[in-house]
Amino acid sequence: MFRYIVKRLLQMIPTLIGVSVICFLIMHSIPGDPARLIAGIDATEEEVEMVRDRLGLDRPLPEQYGSYVWNLLHGDFGISMRSDRPVLEEILSRFPATITLTVFSILIMVVVGLFAGIFSATKPNSLRDNATMLFSLFGLSIPVFWLGIMLILLFSYYLPWLPSGGSGGLQNYILPSIALGVSSSAVLARLTRSSILEVIHQDYIRTARAKGVKERLVIYKHTLRNALIPVITIVGLEFGHLLGGAVLTETVFSLNGIGRYIIQSIQYRDYPAIQGSILFVAAIFVMLNLIIDLCYSAVDPRVRYD
């Protein structure tokens, strides 16, 4: 197990290097001059050149990337062009809002999606099965930002029960978590249903039923546990997706998280902030994949990493 973990951690290095290279090249391919934005539209060409020289934007791209990687190896994500603050400091200040939103969304996803999938799979092709699959289709089809706007209209405007945005207390995360969790729960419901239907026809399930085991124990003890591996996979992938993909939701609900920070940085052509944020999220996503792989052996004793 220890050797496997070390091996996976070493594999993270080329992955993160690839992410940093792609992100660096894409950022420098976006039209617009950050030096011009910082200097202002009324600045002279000499003033713009001074800003460009101060930021190191006048150097060749390989030299800029080499300097960026060297700073990363020393734990320096650079200085934000927009705020003149360390990028890592700004990311960490916004990370609690993003991780709170992600965790709440995952809880909604697991509770709704898992039980909807079980509810549907226990009576395949029945009315409740069709109704559950219709709900999942509804969740997959609706854009998250549109659902967020509808939730704000209903629960913040017409029924002023919940705040429409901001990063205050936990009540500020209810509506955005629902907006994100509904779409993800639809994916989980369909996967749980198909996974349970695949397992429920196995011989050991028939044997358990023949021995007189209660149906509830058959479903929750025997069937569900053996159907959890693909479910765990999708939960891990969705966690990483929500962590890095909550851009629109954080923007709609004015949450001061990493997603909104990335959008603001792109608008300002803040290269260090964009690169640092994406690399930070990528590192967490890779670590999540490792944790998910380790969870397999806890769910299924047949899985070994020796």
230, 252, 237: which is closest to 177 by C-alpha? 252
The predicted structure's pLDDT at residue 143 = 80
Mean pLDDT of the chain: 79
At 41-69, the pLDDT tens digits run 677 777 778 877 777 777 888 888 888 88
At 117-159, the pLDDT tens digits run 888 877 777 887 788 888 788 877 888 778 888 888 888 888 8
Q: How many helices (H) and strands (E) are present in the chain, helices listed first? A: 15, 0
The predicted structure's pLDDT at residue 306 = 58
CA distance 181 to 144: 9
CA distance 148 to 180: 8
Q: Which residues have C-beta within 8 Å of that of residue 140, sequence separation ≥ 6?
A: 183, 186, 187
**Half-sphere exposure (CA, 13 Å, Cβ side) for 17?**
8
176 in Cβ contact with 150 (< 8 Å): no
Residue located via tokens 């809880």: 107
Residue 235 structure tokens: 């939960």
CA distance 140 to 134: 10
Task: Tell me the torsion sign for CA atoms 289, 294, 299, 300.
Answer: positive
**CATH code given to domain 91-299:** 1.10.3720.10
CA distance 91 to 273: 8
Domain ranges in the chain with CATH number 1.10.3720.10: 91-299
Q: Which residues have C-beta within 8 Å of that of residue 233, sequence separation ≥ 6?
A: 292
The predicted structure's pLDDT at residue 56 = 77
Tell me what the mean pLDDT of segment 226-252 comes to: 74
Residue located via tokens 């290279």: 21
For the entire predicted model, the pTM comes to: 0.79
CA distance 243 to 275: 16
The predicted structure's pLDDT at residue 237 = 77
At 97-117, the pLDDT tens digits run 888 888 888 888 888 888 888
